[in-house]
Amino acid sequence: MNKINQIFSERGDRKLLSLYFCAGTPTLDGTGEVIKTMERRGIDFIEVGIPFSDPLADGPVIQTAATKALKNGMNLKTLFAQLKAIKDEVNIPLILMGYLNPILHYGIEQFCQSCADSGVSGMIIPDLPFDDYLNTVKPAADKYDLRVIMLITPETSEERIRFIDQNTDGFIYMVSSAAITGAQKSFDEQKQEYFRHINQMQLRNPRMIGFGISNQQTLKAAQDNAAGAIIGSKFVTLLDETGNADAALDQLFEALSV
């Protein structure tokens, strides 16, 4: 069974926590250690960012991390080599999150094969058109037992959400707002109503809520309305400030409990 499906099937009532960080930060060679530290500290699964020079959906924090990673020399070939080196030491699902351009340049088939060879369970490609997913990416992903995770936002129509639900597997990434990534202090009533509306749709796939989660209030709102939460910018900031995954996690857990 794919590790993504497995973790959702085995979680029971437990709320999951996923963290995002950009591969190649804080150092080029530290990606594997960051991943192993996160697993040791109880993170359920990890989104590993593929740095790109024009990350349209990302706010300044993740843009800065991507720029740093590229300057450090991170690319897909290097990332797959690093992931393959720790494949036998990591048991939690790894999901690559990146934009379509570098993946197309690498080659869809080769990308999926490299994911499978290096222990990756799935991918998130925010700018992947759904038709291209169905016709090109999904067949290759299915061949290697990979999950392609799709994003929905408050602006996504109910018809589109149901179409995504019917044609994907793993989980659905609920973006908390139709905006770029970045920490928020709270989710307003409009966002809460969006969460409730999606709950009432009784979708087949579990959902994870991301974008803006940085404290106890936003974490609880996500956990109350989905299978769990995804945290990106807050952890990326702390990892950059501390240069150490353990220290960054200490500060993150403190922020989430206050």
What is the set of active-site residues?
47, 58
SS3 content of the chain, % helix, strand, coil (to 5): 50, 15, 35
Q: Which of 178, 256, 242 is nearest to 213 (CA)?
A: 256
How many angstroms separate the CA atoms of 200 and 106, rounded?
40
User: 116 to each of 95, 207, 232, how far by Cα in Å?
Assistant: 11, 24, 24
Q: What is the DSSP string of 189-236?
A: HHHHHHHHHHHHT--SS-EEEESS--SHHHHHHHHHHSSEEEE-HHHH
Whether residue 96 contacts residue 50, with contact meaning beta carbons closer than 8 Å, is answered with yes
C-alpha angle with apex 85: 83 to 87, nearest 5 degrees?
65
Burial class of residue 13 in the structure, from the number of CB atoms within 10 Å of its CB (0-12 exposed, 13-18 middle, 19+ buried): exposed
Burial class of residue 60 in the structure, from the number of CB atoms within 10 Å of its CB (0-12 exposed, 13-18 middle, 19+ buried): exposed
How many angstroms separate the CA atoms of 29 and 19, rounded?
19
CA 219 from centroid of its chain's CA atoms: 16
